[in-house]
Amino acid sequence: MAQDVQRTHYRRFSPAQRFEHFVLIIAFIGLAITGLPQLFAGEAWAQSLILALGRIESVRILHRFMALLLIVEVLYHVLSLAYKLLVLRQSASMLPRRRDGRDLLDWLRYTVGRLPERPRMAHYNFLQKIDYWLTVLSILVLLVTGLLLWNPIAVTGVLPGGAIPVAQAIHKNQALLLVLLVVWHTYNAFLKQFNVSIFTGNLARRIMLEEHAEELETLESGEQTPGASGEQVASRARRFWPVAIVVTVLVAAGLIRYLTYQQTAITTVPRQNVAIFAPDVQPAAGDAAIGGALWSTLRCPICHGPQATGGPEGAPALKGSSGSVGKTLTFEKFYAQVRNGSDKMPAFRPEELPDGYMAHLWAWLSSKSTS
Amino acid sequence: MNRRTPLLMVVLGLLLIVLALLLPRESHAAIPVAGPGDVLLDEAPRPSNAYCLLCHAQAGQTWKLPSGETVSLTIDASVLAKSVHGDTSSKGPLTCADCHGNFRYPHPVQTAQSLRQFTLTRYASCRNCHEDQYTRSQDSVHGAALRAGRPEAAVCVDCHGGHDIQPPDRPRERISLTCGRCHGAIFDQYRNSVHGKALFTENNPDVPTCIDCHGVHNIQNPTTAAFRVRSPEVCSKCHSDGALMAKYKLNTHIQESYLTDFHGSTVALFEQQDPKIPTNKAVCFDCHGVHNIQPVNNGNTSPIRENLLTTCRQCHPDAKANFPDAWIGHYPATPESHPVLYAVNGFYSLAIPGSIGLVVIVAGADFFRRLRQRFSRRRQTGA
C-alpha cells in the first residue's frame, strides 16, 4: 500500500459525465411521463397525467421535445466518446471483453454460494456493461422507430405502409423494456448499494472493494498509466475538431430538415355539404320500396285499401289487375288529385306528403306486385 | 369588518342558493304557453264533439288566411277515432276541446297571418299531456332553430300529425319517412345507404333509423365538436354488440381496433376531457360516410378498401400509395395479414415477461446472498 491512510472515496465521474447523466435523467423522465400515458390512454391514471400536462396534443408535442433533448444528448455522447478514443486515446473500457463472461460466471457462483469472494472487477464491471449496452440499444431502437413515427406520411413514400404499425409496436414495447431497465439500474445503484457517485463524482471505497476490486488495487498501488504527451494530443485535436464540427452541422441540418418535413394533416375535416332543410329534393328515380312503406304510413289505405286495390266505400283501385295506375291515370293527374283532392278525397299538403315522396309513391303504385 | 366578512359571505351565499332554487320554477311558469284560447281559461263546460261536428262534419268548410292559403276545416271524425287519441287511447278518446280549448262558437278572431303562424301558436297544447316530450323538444336543435327565427323548424304536429296521429314508430320505416319530409336531401342519401336499403327493402328490425343515432325530441345539433367526438359511441352501440353483429356476420373488433389506433385514442381522450374542443382526428363517419354509408364488402370487392387512399387524402393530401397500409384495419393482426407485426408482438410478449423474470431472479439471488453474508459475518463477530 502506497499510503498509510486509506482514502474513503475515489474519483469516478467527471463533471461533464455527471451533467450528461443529469440530462439523460431529465430526458428519460420527460419521455416516460409523456409517453406512458399515451400507451395506456384508457387508464384513469394516464388520463389524469394527460390532463395535468395540458391535454393530449401538448403531451404529444412535449414527447417530441423530450426526444429532441435525448437526440442532442446522444450526439454529444458520440462526439465526446470519439474525442476520448481518438484524441485522448483512452482505452475503450466499456467494450465487452472475454473476462466479463468469466466475471459473470464467478459472480453467479458467488451469488449461489459456490465461491467465497466476488470476482475482482475493473473500472466498468460486466453488470454496468450490460446496463450500458442495453440502454444504448434501447435508445437507438426507440429513436429510429420514433423518428419513423414522427413523419408517417413521408416515411410511407419510401417504405411500405406496414413499417408504421411495426415501428409503433416496437416503440411501445421497447419503451416498456427501457423502463424495466431503468428500474433495474435504479435498484443496482440505490437499493443494492447506495451508490451516488454519478451525482457526487466520487465512489466510496467500500463499494469499490465490492464492484471494482481490481481497479481499486491499481489506484492504491499508485501506478500511473503513461498518458500521451500534450503535443500529440494537441495535434490530434487540430484534426478532430473540424471533422467533428462538419459532422455535427450536417447531422443537425439533416435532423431539422427531417423533423420539420411533414405538415400534411389538415386542421379541419371537410364536412359533407348536404342541405339540412330540404323538403323539395326530388329523388333521381322513384323507389317502390320507399313508396310501399310510405303508403302504409299515410291516410291513403283508409279508403284505398292496404294494398291500394280499392276500398269498400268506392275508393278506386290504384294497383293490381284492376288498378288505374299505368292505365288511365298518369303521374300528372295523380299528382294533381293528391294535392288538390276532390269532393270525396282530402287534399294532401306538401308538409304531409312532400313532392319528393310523390315519385316513390308512384313507383310503388306502378309496380305490378301487390305485396 | 374583517371578522364579519366571512359571515356576511355565508349569509349572502345561502340567500343566493335559496334564490337559485326558487328561480327555475318561476321562469318555467313564465314560459308563455297560451296561444289564443289555448287552455280552458274559464270554468264553463267544454263543448262536446257533437257540438263541434255540427259544422265541422260538413263538406266544403274552408278558412282563407291572409297569406292566401286555404285550409279545409272539414273534420272526418273517423280519422280522429282511429288515431292514438281515439278509441284505443289508454286514457279514453280525446275530445276536440281537449286540444282546441275554449273554441266556442262564435270562434275568437284569429290573428294568424299564415297557416304556419297558426300552427306555431297552437302546438303547445300538446304540452298539457306530454310535458316531458314538449320540454325536450324545446331543448332540441328544432327548438333552438325556432327561437332563432326559423318558423319551418319542426314542432310536435309536424312529425306526429294533427288529427290522424299514429304510433310514430309503426311501421319502423315511418320514423325515417317522417324526418325525410323536411330533410329530403339527407333522406335521399340515407335510403341508398346500407342501413336505409335494409330498412326499406328487407324491413330489417336492427338497422338504425334516424332517431337511433340522433335521438328523439331532444335531438342535438350533429355538427358540433361534442357530437363528433361522441359519434364513435353511437356507432358502437350496435357495432360492438357481439350477438347483433354475429347475426349479420359483421366485424366485432371495430370499436376496440379504433380505440387502440391513433385516431380513436385521441378522439376518446377529447370526448372524456374536452368534448367541446374540436379535433381533426377521424371518427367513423369521416371514412365511412355520414348518411350514405355503404357496405364494406360488396360481394368479392371492397369498395371502401379500394378507395382508401382517396379517403386518407381528405385529411392527408400528401399521402402516397403506401400510406393506407400504415393502418392495419379493424381486424387484429394475424400471421397471414401482418407477418412482421405479428412476429414483433410475439417477440416482445416473450421478451418483456422474460426480462421481468430475469430481473426478479437476479435481484432476489443477490439480495439473499447479501443477507446470508451479513448473517454469517455477525455470527463470526459475535463468536
Among A274, A281, A351, beta carbon nearest to B158: A351
Task: Kindly state whether B131 is in contact with chain A, defined as any CB-CB distance less than 8 angstroms.
Answer: no
Over the stretch B5-16, which tens digit does the pLDDT of each residue have? 667 777 776 776
Compute the mean pLDDT over every residue in chain B, rounded to the nearest whole number.
86
The CATH number for A288-366, chosen from 1.10.760.10, 3.40.50.300, 3.30.300.20, 3.40.50.2300, is 1.10.760.10
Dist. CA A296–CA B174, nearest whole Å: 9
Task: Kindly state whether B322 is in contact with chain A, defined as any CB-CB distance less than 8 angstroms.
Answer: yes
pLDDT of B27 reads 36
Task: Kindly state whether B340 is in contact with chain A, defined as any CB-CB distance less than 8 angstroms.
Answer: yes
- Residue numbers of chain A with a pLDDT score lower than 70: 1-6, 224-228, 368-371
Asked if B81 contacts B74 with a C-beta cutoff of 8 angstroms, the reply is no
Is the pLDDT confidence value at B37 over 50?
no
The minimum CA-CA distance between B207 and chain A, rounded to whole Å, is: 15
Using a CB-CB distance cutoff of 8 angstroms, which residues of chain A are in contact with residue B223?
271
Return the C-alpha cell found at A44.
384513469
Task: Kindly state whether B373 is in contact with chain A, defined as any CB-CB distance less than 8 angstroms.
Answer: no
Dist. CA B195–CA B294, nearest whole Å: 8
Is the pLDDT confidence value at B38 over 60?
no
The minimum CA-CA distance between A210 and chain B, rounded to whole Å, is: 12
Name A203's bridge partners: A10
Test A352 with B59 for CB contact under 8 angstroms: no
More confident call, B35 vs A299 = A299
* Alpha-carbon B347 to chain mean position: 44
Mutate to test the interface with A, among B118, B142, B166, B188 (most CBs of A within 10 A): B188
Q: What does R_g of chain A's alpha carbons equal in angstroms?
A: 40
The minimum CA-CA distance between B23 and chain A, rounded to whole Å, is: 35
Test B150 with A297 for CB contact under 8 angstroms: no
Task: Kindly state whether B73 is in contact with chain A, defined as any CB-CB distance less than 8 angstroms.
Answer: no
Task: Kindly state whether B273 is in contact with chain A, defined as any CB-CB distance less than 8 angstroms.
Answer: yes
Neighbours of B34 (CB within 10 A): 12
Over the stretch B174-205, which tens digit does the pLDDT of each residue have? 999 999 999 999 999 999 999 999 999 999 99
The minimum CA-CA distance between A15 and chain B, rounded to whole Å, is: 30
Of A219-223, B116-120, B230-234, B347-351, which range is least confident? A219-223
pLDDT of B44 reads 63
pLDDT of B348 reads 97
Confidence bin at B366 (pLDDT 50/70/90): confident
Dist. CA B33–CA A54, nearest whole Å: 47
More confident call, A204 vs B22 = A204
Task: Kindly state whether B378 is in contact with chain A, defined as any CB-CB distance less than 8 angstroms.
Answer: no
Residue range A9-259 forms a domain whose CATH class is mainly alpha
ipTM of the complex: 0.85
Using a CB-CB distance cutoff of 8 angstroms, which residues of chain B are in contact with residue A347?
72
**3-state secondary structure string, chain A?**
CCCCCCCCEEECCCHHHHHHHHHHHHHHHHHHHHHHHHHCCCCHHHHHHHHHCCHHHHHHHHHHHHHHHHHHHHHHHHHHHHHHHHHCCCCCCCCCCHHHHHHHHHHHHHHCCCCCCCCCCCCCCHHHHHHHHHHHHHHHHHHHHHHHHHCHHHHCCCCCCCHHHHHHHHHHHHHHHHHHHHHHHHHHHHHHCCCCHHHHCEEEHHHHHHHCHHHHHHHHHCCCCCCCCHHHHHHHHHHHHHHHHHHHHHHHHHHHHHHCCCCCCCCCCCCCCCCCCECCCCCCCCCHHHHHHHHHHCCHHHHHCCCCCCCCCCCCCCCCCCCCECCCECHHHHHHHHHHCCCCCCCCCCCCCCHHHHHHHHHHHHCCCCC
**Which residues lie closer than 8 Å to A228 by C-beta, 6 or more apart?**
A88, A89
Using a CB-CB distance cutoff of 8 angstroms, which residues of chain B are in contact with residue A287?
191, 200
Dist. CA A296–CA A305, nearest whole Å: 9
pLDDT of B41 reads 46
pLDDT, average across residues B207-219: 96
**Alpha-carbon torsion, ordered A86, A90, A95, A100, to 10 deg:** 160
Nearest to A21 by CA among A177, A201, A252: A201
Pairing state between β B62-64 and B70-72: antiparallel
Which amino acid, one-letter code, is at A179?
A: V
Among A152, A176, A341, beta carbon nearest to B326: A152
Q: What is the DSSP letter of B244?
A: H
Which amino acid, one-letter code, is at A131?
A: D
The minimum CA-CA distance between A230 and chain B, rounded to whole Å, is: 45
Helix H or strand E encompassing B173: helix B173-180
Is the pLDDT confidence value at B356 over 90?
yes
Asked if B163 contacts B79 with a C-beta cutoff of 8 angstroms, the reply is yes
pTM: 0.84
Largest CA distance in chain B: 125
Task: Kindly state whether B333 is in contact with chain A, defined as any CB-CB distance less than 8 angstroms.
Answer: yes
Asked if B299 contacts B248 with a C-beta cutoff of 8 angstroms, the reply is no
Is the pLDDT confidence value at B39 over 50?
no
Dist. CA B95–CA B56, nearest whole Å: 14
Dist. CA B146–CA B124, nearest whole Å: 13
Test B269 with A111 for CB contact under 8 angstroms: no
Test A351 with B272 for CB contact under 8 angstroms: no
Dist. CA A200–CA A74, nearest whole Å: 22
pLDDT of A158 reads 94
Residues 142-181 of B with CB under 8 A from A: 150, 152, 158, 161, 164, 166, 171, 173-174, 177-178, 180-181
Return the C-alpha cell found at A5.
491512510
In chain B, the residue whose alpha carbon lies closest to the alpha carbon of A275 is B185
pLDDT of B31 reads 33
Dist. CA A344–CA B134, nearest whole Å: 35
Q: A256-293: buried (b, 16+ CB within 10 Å) or exposed (e) per residue? A: eeeeeebebbeeebeeeeeeeebbebebeebbbbbbbb
Among B184, B326, B366, beta carbon nearest to A164: B326
DSSP SS3 for B47: coil
Dist. CA B134–CA B28, nearest whole Å: 13
pLDDT of A369 reads 63
In chain B, the residue whose alpha carbon lies closest to the alpha carbon of A351 is B181
First and final CA of chain A: distance in angstroms? 110
The minimum CA-CA distance between B363 and chain A, rounded to whole Å, is: 8
Dist. CA A197–CA A194, nearest whole Å: 9
**Which residues lie closer than 8 Å to A306 by C-beta, 6 or more apart?**
A296
Dist. CA A364–CA B270, nearest whole Å: 47
Task: Kindly state whether B319 is in contact with chain A, defined as any CB-CB distance less than 8 angstroms.
Answer: yes
pLDDT of A154 reads 92
Residues 242-271 of B with CB under 8 A from A: 259, 265-266, 268-270
Neighbours of B188 (CB within 10 A): 22
**Which residues lie closer than 8 Å to B265 by C-beta, 6 or more apart?**
A38, A41, A42, B259
Dist. CA B229–CA B233, nearest whole Å: 8
Dist. CA A113–CA A191, nearest whole Å: 21
Dist. CA A228–CA A232, nearest whole Å: 7
Domains of chain B by residue range: 167-213, 225-340
Q: What does R_g of chain B's alpha carbons equal in angstroms?
A: 33
Domains of chain A by residue range: 9-259, 288-366
